[in-house]
A and B are shown apart, each in its own frame.
Chain A
């Protein structure tokens, strides 16, 4: 946005024939034109400094993100195996996709993981945040402990959970035995493999919890005090104050959670390889296989853009629905 040009202010002066003025520096602004040039020069330098500061990020974004994105958009219409020249196939990849049973299988697996996992993680992370926000002693330690698993590398995380879910000696079946329940095959059971992945995801609620905690701590205490004076119960205060005031944070975690869940890959690649019987063949894992195992980078690019479109549609839908349930404090005040 350009700063208002002082020339605009001066032009009436000039037009009126008023004499020129002496600037504080002692220089004489003999014409409005000189003022305009001087001011534009300052603006140019300020702008340039700003752009230079963000240029490294922009360059990285263009080279490592935007450029490859545009390249893959072109590759989606090509048959390309990386090693040879790409061949234009038009919409052929998208037509293949429509007939590919593993496309729908992988999308279904990913949708299951997303639409069951994301709400579960939201609820659990909100619950954890609410508990931590009660001001218990050692809250910072608990907060750290909850957040630490989010920092574990994905591969280490996957190997750890493979061990936990081992049917013979894993901790999961040990817990079931202690509860008097029968052991399960977990990652080896077609019906339990995806729920096992959802359980693995609970390990990472720490990052959402921290965001919720920040949101909770931003809710004015006066609201709770006023409600308490009016006789509102704890549940009523939570429902009528906490949730509405926290709705922007919930919305943020929901959007980010759905985007992230649709891209689940590393754990499936390490823990199950997509098995048993493709029960954990998630979308991005299938995309990866097409790109690097099956020499179908063009088809993989088409898969990537279809995923982008699906995630975009979901995100836009969430923004649209959010008008009915997300309340921003600024809007309320206004």
Chain B
């Protein structure tokens, strides 16, 4: 007997389909660590390496946040790995680029890559939520890996709550990059070629001598940045953004506020640094390459862009250390590192791939591309120190790593923390608030965030 498939029957079918869709979309691929509710304060699942099984496996590798201009060396390394053995295949290099949101979605969908290259500042938020597989047992079972072979700051940045969630890959100590041609045109002596060679007053005089012109033709002596780049002034003046144990925000200390006042004076009082509205779409990077700025601050990675600019336009550049403040010279050193997704079903193979990434030939490829890696012997070698242009003071990056870098104030709440700080900083630079008015507000809000983060178990 035929039944009439009418509206009611169809609506019932839709209801069933909706329920099924809802249930499936509610299903969360939970990281299999037991500490998922309160962060890894409880026992964290670790995995000691075991003997590799016989059959061929495929693992996925992704570089998150950046990598577009390094796709060539990455692809070459992946190819070399595949050719060096016949058990593990890495199909292709995936560049998710600016895609931490995609990583989160991939993890929720249980399709994250096996191996990731991560910026360390994101590690805390992901590690606190059980995204990474702790690596200490893998490291312990690999006798050729010795932590003394790596820069101490880089190694420490891979740890969170006593567990090593990442393996160090590269670093990027902040330097002053300057254009010697603009110095020659202004008749100003170049910055010193060693740490401790100048102080803030020397720096200001230099920047003032280099600043000239008006409007769109103005050349600035200093192309400073906001956000984390201001840490350099704070630290060098004896202040801190977060305490060294990252439990409290102390940006309202007298030393920190004095440093921030100095930084805003460079913009508003001395006018050696551009206002935000004076920075064109290419940013300060574009301004430096267009010779509209004599000095800029960046990490080692900027060498890649400047080498390309040199080939295209003949741009000249070199590096110098930051000037000494009352507490010396302390610079930021953002790192990148490799990690294994805890949901990976091929953890041993993923570790084998990381070991290959950490091998000298692989790191030399990446160093030739323009990075400074965490493994000391590569950075001490001619591959880094004698790279082109040879007149650049490449040794200063090593000097920075060995005595002038501080750990970033990265926590699980770093994104929100910087949004709070940057909103207040914008008001200070616009002249609508003072440092003394804003920093206590920042400290109060960030400390409230840290308290909430601790209550959730994601911060110390």
Contact = CB atoms under 8 A, between A and B. Distances in A.
Contacts of A71: 22, 25-26
B416 to A, nearest CB: 5
Contact of A62 (B14, B31, B101): B14
B5 A48 contact: yes
B458 to A, nearest CB: 8
B37 A278 contact: no
The range of chain A's interface size is 35 or more
B301 interface: no
Given A85-B30, A292-B100, A293-B415, A51 B37 contact: no
Interface stretch (B156-164, B276-284, B388-396): B276-284
Nearest to A51: B10
A70 interface: yes
B278 A167 contact: yes
A294 B416 contact: yes
The range of chain B's interface size is 35 or more
Contacts of A159: 281
A47 to B, nearest CB: 5
B22 A67 contact: yes
A294 B413 contact: yes
A289 B416 CA distance: 9
Contact of B2 (A44, A62, A66, A87): A44
A168 B290 CA distance: 15
A66 B11 CA distance: 14
Interface string A1-38: 11000000000000000000000000000000000010
B321 interface: no
A47 B2 contact: no
Contact of B6 (A2, A83, A275): A2
A68 interface: yes
B31 A37 contact: no
A275 B5 contact: no
Interface string B245-258: 00000000000000
Nearest to B107: A83
B422 interface: yes
Contacts of A62: 14, 17-18, 21
B56 interface: no
Interface stretch (B134-142, B235-243, B423-431): B423-431
B215 A168 contact: yes
B76 interface: no
Interface string B337-351: 000000000000000
Nearest to B424: A277
A169 B216 CA distance: 7
A295 B412 contact: yes
Nearest to A162: B281
Interface in B260-286: 275-278, 280-281
A6 B231 CA distance: 84
Nearest to B3: A44
A276 interface: yes
B426 A276 contact: yes
A48 B423 CA distance: 58
A41 interface: yes
Contacts of A37: 1-2
Contacts of A295: 104, 125, 129, 412
Interface of A: 1-2, 37, 40-41, 43-44, 47-48, 51, 58-59, 62-63, 66-68, 70-71, 74, 79-87, 159, 162-163, 166-169, 185-186, 188, 190, 274-278, 289, 292-295
A-B pairs, top 10 by smallest CB distance, nearest first, are A67-B21, A188-B277, A83-B129, A71-B25, A292-B101, A167-B277, A84-B36, A293-B415, A70-B22, A82-B104
